[in-house]
Every structure is written in structure tokens, then in C-alpha cells.
């Protein structure tokens, strides 16, 4: 239950079930027409009634121009999101949404046919929730070392939700009135962690919906992996700066990263997602490299301090 200072959601499903609420699927897009095309194709196969859903795409200054996105996304609402970043783009799309439920999806995520059905059902028990993300590779029989690593470790939403207390925004469901009470995503920080923590601090409940499944392609090489983690580490360091104890804990976790390598290497060895031993050895090599790289990046960015204000 939310604190007394926060009005409870008017259509909270635990107090008044909503039969077939209208769902707004929220998709930020940036320079990825090929994946967006496939993403929309999967959404058109949903078991959820088409007349009870809308798809809103916020284009985040893609080089192709918004006209190309609109041509591709026939039947969808496409709006410009001029402020760069996934959080501001999601905010722009949500501002144009008319649904009772917001279903957040990344443009490179491919939803299972019953994704919306399972996700909305999960909101009967929770104020907001995250689903399951399965990482896939181009050739399952011959994954690259980075693909093999991501197939084992990428997007563990169940752990995020049950152990850390947040859900990723690439597969998230939330009542619209809950989102409005919590407020939009903040830019420059880990927006999924920040938003989830704010929501939970207001008394809203978070859950994991095992059956709400989307797939996401693995990154193929080190450069792609490093770009992703450079952004994530930078955002998380920025998120922690507002609290010195949170910063200290983040630094300690960074220093402990090499110590976790043996346990995580054992997880690679035992994984049934990898087809052969060369893939396992490749994944373990990436594990060593990335853990050491993240430790250094956390320490350097924390010591550097916040960027100078203009």
C-alpha cells in the first residue's frame, strides 16, 4: 500500500479487476530500422485483442529521419523525442499514450505471441513488473565469445527483480496511474533502477512475470559489449553520487569483481545454453576481461567526480 501522502491507484487490479484494459506499447527507437521492423511484426501476432492496444514509437533523432520510421511503422503512432536518451524517449511516448497499462519494450526486443496477455495478467498481483528476456545469437551452433558470454549472463530479470529490487525497462509493465504518481524517467542515470527505487519507496509493489517473454540479440564483439557497459557503468555511478553510502558500496562491489570470477566461470561451465566447450572457454575469457574492465571503470569514474556544470 502506498504511503498516506500518495493517492492509491484508482484502478489497482487487486482492489478492482479491470477486464481487458487498454494497453499502450511504448518503444523508443534510435538508428535500428531492421530490428524495429521485426519487433513490430512480432507485436502484430499478439494474442491480446488488437482493438485494446496501441503502439507508440518515440524516435530519438535517428539518422534516417522520422518520416522513414513512420513509413515502416504503419498503423502505429510515431512521435519525435528530441531529448537524447532512452529515458526521455520513453517519457515522450508515454506522454502520448492513452492506455490503462503501459507495456515498455525496446525496439530490438522480439515479443512472444502471448507477451501482452501474460504481462497484463501479472499486474493483477503487482503495481509494476518485469518479464523474462532470453538472449539469442546469430548462429546458435557457433556463437562468438561475446555472444556466448551474453547468452549466459545477459538480462537476468528474475535476479534484478527478486534480489536487487528493480526491473529493466526493455520488458516492463506498469499501470499508467502508478507511472504518473511516480513520475517520468530521469536522464543521465540508470533510469530503470532509479524509477524502480522511487516507485518502491512510494509503497508500490514490484513483481516478476516469468511467462512474459521477449528475446534480445546478443552483442557479437568486444566493442559492442564495451559500449554497452561504458554507458551502464557511467549511469550507475551517476545514480550513486546522490548518496555517499551508496557510492561507497558501489566502489566495494567494484573492487570485489575479480573475486566473483571463479563462481561465474563455474556458471559458464554448467550452462546448458552453450553448444560446446570452445564457446564456454570463449565466454570465460570475456568474463575475465569484462570484470577487470568494469572494476577499473567504476574506480576511475567515481574518482573523477561529477562533470563540471557549464
Mean pLDDT score of the chain: 91
Q: Count the helix, strand and coil residues of the chain and give each as a percent rounded to the nearest 5.
A: 50, 15, 35
Q: What's the whole-number mean pLDDT along residues 156-185?
A: 95
Q: By the 8 A CB rule, do 188 and 237 touch?
A: no
Q: Provide the edge-to-edge strand list for the sheet that holds 77-80.
A: 77-80, 53-59, 23-29, 101-105, 171-175, 128-136, 206-217, 110-111
Q: How confident is the model at residue 5 (pLDDT cuts 50, 70, 90)?
A: very low
**pLDDT score for 295:** 95
**pLDDT score for 20:** 87
Helix (H, G, I), strand (E, B) or coil at 125: coil
Integer Cα distance of 234 and 47 in angstroms:
39
Integer Cα distance of 73 and 253 in angstroms:
43
Query: DSSP states of 148-198 as a string?
Result: HHHHHHS--HHHIIIIIS---TTEEEEEHHHHHHH--PPTTS-HHHHHHHH
State the DSSP code for 26.
E
According to DSSP, the residues that pair with 171 across neighbouring strands are 105
Helix (H) or strand (E) holding 6: none
Integer Cα distance of 48 and 102 in angstroms:
14
**Residues 185-210: tens digit of each pLDDT:** 998 788 999 999 999 999 999 999 99
Integer Cα distance of 80 and 138 in angstroms:
31
pLDDT at 9 over 70: no
**Residues 276-309: tens digit of each pLDDT:** 999 999 999 999 999 999 999 999 999 987 765 5
The count of other CB atoms within 10 Å of the CB of residue 41 is 10
**pLDDT score for 75:** 94
Q: In terms of pTM, does the model score above 0.85?
A: no
Integer Cα distance of 91 and 182 in angstroms:
12
Domains of the chain: 23-217 (3.90.550.10), 222-304 (no CATH)
Helix (H) or strand (E) holding 233: helix 222-240
Amino acid at each position: 500500500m502506498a504511503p498516506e501522502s500518495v493517492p492509491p491507484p484508482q484502478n489497482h487490479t487487486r482492489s478492482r479487476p479491470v477486464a481487458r484494459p487498454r494497453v499502450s506499447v511504448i518503444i523508443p527507437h534510435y538508428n535500428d530500422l531492421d530490428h524495429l521492423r521485426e519487433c513490430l511484426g512480432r507485436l502484430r501476432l499478439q494474442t491480446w485483442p488488437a482493438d485494446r492496444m496501441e503502439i507508440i514509437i518515440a524516435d530519438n533523432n535517428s539518422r534516417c529521419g522520422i518520416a522513414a520510421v513512420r513509413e515502416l511503422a504503419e498503423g502505429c503512432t510515431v512521435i519525435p523525442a528530441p531529448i537524447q536518451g532512452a529515458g526521455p524517449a520513453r517519457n515522450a511516448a508515454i506522454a502520448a499514450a492513452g492506455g490503462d497499462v503501459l507495456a515498455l519494450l525496446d525496439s530490438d526486443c522480439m515479443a512472444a505471441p502471448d507477451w501482452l496477455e501474460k504481462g497484463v495478467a501479472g499486474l493483477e498481483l503487482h503495481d509494476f513488473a518485469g518479464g523474462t528476456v532470453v538472449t539469442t545469437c546469430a548462429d546458435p551452433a557457433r556463437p562468438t565469445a561475446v555472444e556466448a558470454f551474453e547468452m549466459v549472463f545477459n538480462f537476468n530479470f528474475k535476479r534484478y527483480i527478486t534480489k536487487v529490487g528493480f526491473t529493466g525497462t526493455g520488458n516492463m509493465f506498469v499501470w499508467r496511474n502508478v507511472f504518473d504518481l511516480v513520475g517520468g524517467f530521469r536522464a543521465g542515470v540508470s533510469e530503470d533502477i532509479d524509477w524502480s527505487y522511487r516507485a518502491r519507496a512510494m509503497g508500490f509493489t514490484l513483481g516478476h512475470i516469468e511467462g512474459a517473454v521477449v528475446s534480445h540479440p546478443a552483442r557479437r564483439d568486444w566493442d559492442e559489449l564495451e559500449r554497452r557497459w561504458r554507458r551502464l557503468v557511467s549511469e550507475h555511478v551517476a545514480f550513486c553520487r546522490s548518496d555517499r553510502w551508496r557510492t561507497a558500496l558501489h566502489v566495494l562491489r567494484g573492487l570485489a569483481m575479480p573475486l566473483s570470477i571463479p563462481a561465474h566461470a563455474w556458471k559458464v561451465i554448467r550452462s546448458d545454453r552453450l553448444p560446446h566447450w570452445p564457446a564456454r572457454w570463449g565466454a570465460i575469457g570475456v568474463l575475465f576481461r569484462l570484470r577487470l574492465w568494469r572494476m577499473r571503470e567504476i574506480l576511475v569514474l567515481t574518482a573523477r567526480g561529477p562533470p563540471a556544470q557549464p
